[in-house]
């Protein structure tokens, strides 16, 4: 097989991994701080794709810019998710995980029916943004412009998110709330506000992933469950609560997915599950995770 084909496939895998990082990092943050298993996360990802489609095709005078849509759709998703968190999830934070799962699964079906009612069962697509529809060659290798854009945006977001968590006052309060919420409250941290902010941020990242991936894919029902499962796999491989681990794991899964489609298209998802099992056998707490006492 020609090297140029492999290089192009590698670029597609890195692009796929960048989108998966945006999706998975939000899930990792919500799980790490709020301690809730948010199976609704993939639904927010798909919802952002539908909203972005509507903004791009039905409301041109309001939001004709791809970049504006890329911000507006995640903001809408984050606002909806915050309302859900305040009205519903706050009531189950102290409950057993089974109640959290039942609530999350119920919301998956509710959001799915709402999306089907509004947008119908037919997948929705949009074209490439202006200026990124083509590609260029480098030494015989074809490099699609939009893939490079996605990789750049994903990497920049990873660096910014790591800096926000590790180097800012909000990040310190977030880590304190995740490690010991009672002690954080005693020190004057508004833990409820932190949880809502993290839920909104994680949902924004899911929406951002959806809007960024829409030109490469399509908004369709059923993608939500697949997206959630992949996000959980990435969090498990990288290590829960680790931004760096989530980034590395997302790139690995993206590359495996890309080459799996090329070589073993029928068994790609099996390869990803097998990779997760191998990582768990070697490091049960993930590549960058820490063993708990």
pLDDT of residue 20: 96
Q: What are phi and psi of 65, to 5 degrees?
A: -85, 135
Total structural domains in the chain? 1
- Mean pLDDT across the stretch 54-79? 80
pLDDT at position 63 over 70: no
- The answer to whether position 134 is within a domain reads no
Q: Which residue has the higher pLDDT, 62 or 115?
A: 115
- The answer to whether position 164 is within a domain reads yes
- The answer to whether position 287 is within a domain reads no
Banded pLDDT at 254 (limits 50, 70, 90)? very high
The answer to whether 20 touches 205, Cβ cutoff 8 Å, is no
Please state, rounded to an integer, the average pLDDT across all residues of the chain.
Answer: 89
pLDDT of residue 62: 46
- The answer to whether position 288 is within a domain reads no
pLDDT at position 293 over 60: no
Residue 290: count of CB within 10 angstroms of its CB: 12
- Mean pLDDT across the stretch 279-284? 88
Residue 222: count of CB within 10 angstroms of its CB: 12
pLDDT of residue 61: 46
- The answer to whether position 245 is within a domain reads yes
pLDDT at position 212 over 50: yes
The answer to whether 128 touches 215, Cβ cutoff 8 Å, is yes
Q: How does pLDDT run across 95-110, given as a tens digit for each residue?
A: 888 888 899 999 999 9
Non-local (6+) Cβ contacts of 70 within 8 A are 52, 208, 211, 212
The answer to whether 108 touches 40, Cβ cutoff 8 Å, is yes
- The answer to whether position 90 is within a domain reads yes
- The answer to whether position 139 is within a domain reads no
Q: Is 51 exposed, middle or buried (0-12, 13-18, 19+ CB in 10 A)?
A: buried
Supply the range of the domain harboring residue 35. Answer: 3-121+147-282
Cα 276 to Cα 269: distance, rounded to the nearest angstrom: 11
The answer to whether 242 touches 289, Cβ cutoff 8 Å, is yes
Q: How does pLDDT run across 2-53, given as a tens digit for each residue?
A: 777 788 888 989 999 999 999 999 999 998 888 888 899 999 999 999 999 9
- The answer to whether position 168 is within a domain reads yes
CATH code for the domain in which residue 38 is found: 1.10.3470
pLDDT at position 207 over 90: yes
DSSP state, residue 95: S
pLDDT at position 185 over 80: yes
Percent of the chain with pLDDT over 70: 96
pLDDT of residue 59: 64
């Amino acid at each position: 097989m020609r090297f140029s084909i492999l290089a192009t496939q590698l670029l597609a895998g890195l692009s796929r991994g960048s989108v998966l990082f945006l999706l998975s990092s939000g899930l990792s943050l919500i799980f790490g701080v709020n301690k809730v298993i948010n199976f609704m996360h993939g639904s927010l990802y798909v919802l952002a794709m539908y909203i972005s489609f509507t903004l791009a095709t039905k409301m041109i005078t309001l939001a004709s810019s791809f970049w504006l849509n890329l911000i507006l759709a995640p903001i809408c998703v984050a606002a909806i998710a915050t309302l859900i968190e305040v009205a519903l999830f706050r009531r189950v934070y102290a409950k057993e995980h089974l109640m959290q799962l039942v609530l999350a699964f119920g919301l998956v079906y509710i959001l799915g029916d709402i999306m089907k009612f509004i947008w119908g069962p037919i997948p929705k697509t949009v074209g490439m943004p202006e200026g990124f529809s083509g590609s260029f060659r480098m030494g015989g290798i074809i490099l699609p412009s939009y893939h490079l854009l996605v990789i750049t945006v994903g990497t920049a977001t990873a660096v910014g998110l790591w800096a926000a968590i590790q180097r800012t006052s909000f990040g310190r309060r977030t880590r304190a709330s995740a490690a010991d919420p009672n002690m954080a409250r005693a020190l004057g941290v508004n833990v409820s506000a932190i949880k809502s902010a993290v839920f909104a941020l994680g949902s924004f990242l899911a929406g951002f992933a959806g809007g960024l991936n829409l030109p490469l894919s399509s908004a369709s029902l059923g993608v939500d469950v697949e997206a959630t499962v992949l996000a959980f796999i990435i969090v498990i491989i990288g290590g829960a609560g680790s931004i760096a681990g989530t980034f590395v794991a997302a790139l690995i899964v993206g590359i495996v997915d890309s080459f799996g489609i090329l070589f073993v298209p029928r068994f790609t998802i099996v390869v990803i599950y097998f990779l997760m099992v191998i990582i768990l056998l070697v490091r049960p707490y993930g590549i960058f995770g820490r063993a708990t006492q």
